[in-house]
A and B are shown apart, each in its own frame.
Chain A
């Protein structure tokens, strides 16, 4: 099992719809979860981070964390063509005697059609 898994997509949604992106992780003790957006040829930029179970909202974005089921999701409401990008999930994975490291999923490509 990969440490952090995402569906690679592409996920295609019409403009104005809700896009739902999912991520599962293997380390039950993980405490830090992040969503990054990456446009083609650019570096990732932080969208949201979440540390506690439940929902966290920021504008059109909502991060949802369920530690018991080991998944984290990102909802994008009122999707816009400018949201078309690859979305990367990142999770802190504990390494015995080495501290923690941030591991990324392979990313989900989102396409928002006008």
Chain B
């Protein structure tokens, strides 16, 4: 079955530790995205990538880093510099992401990160 796999589903970390969230897709999509969602709020864009070895900052990139070494994979690292890392993190992909046009996003099931 084609889809997006995020792991783990739940993640607990101590403050000051870096943590990497995994996102893998087998949909052959070019574009991949990371969003963050806080309780009662919409999705905020952290990073996105339209092609391998290239990515752009979203609206809240500070304290996060990504890589896109393979088309299928777009891992997100939450660094100790991120002041409020506890949130629900969603990875998504789409077939097309040009200047004016997006195809629909397919979402993974999310990773719920808790930092204490």
Interface of B with A (CB < 8 Å)?
33, 35, 40-45, 48, 50, 56, 58-59, 90, 94, 97-110
Contacts and interface: CB of A to CB of B under 8 A. Distances in A.
Interface string A41-71: 0111110010100000000000000000000
A51 B103 CA distance: 10
For B94, B104, B109, the residue with the greatest tally of chain A CB atoms inside 10 Å of its CB is B104
Contact of B43 (A30, A88, A98): A88
B110 A92 contact: no
Contacts of B59: 103
A43 B101 contact: no
B104 A34 contact: yes
Contacts of A94: 99-100
Interface in A69-112: 88, 90, 92, 94-95, 98-107
Contacts, number: 76
Interface in A27-46: 29-32, 34, 36, 42-46
Nearest to B35: A104
Nearest to A43: B107
B90 A99 contact: no
A80 to B, nearest CB: 23
Given A101-B45, A106-B41, A32 B107 contact: no
Given A34-B105, A102-B97, 13 more contacts: A6-B42, A31-B101, A32-B101, A42-B110, A43-B110, A44-B43, A90-B105, A92-B102, A99-B56, A100-B101, A101-B45, A103-B45, A104-B45
A7 B94 CA distance: 27
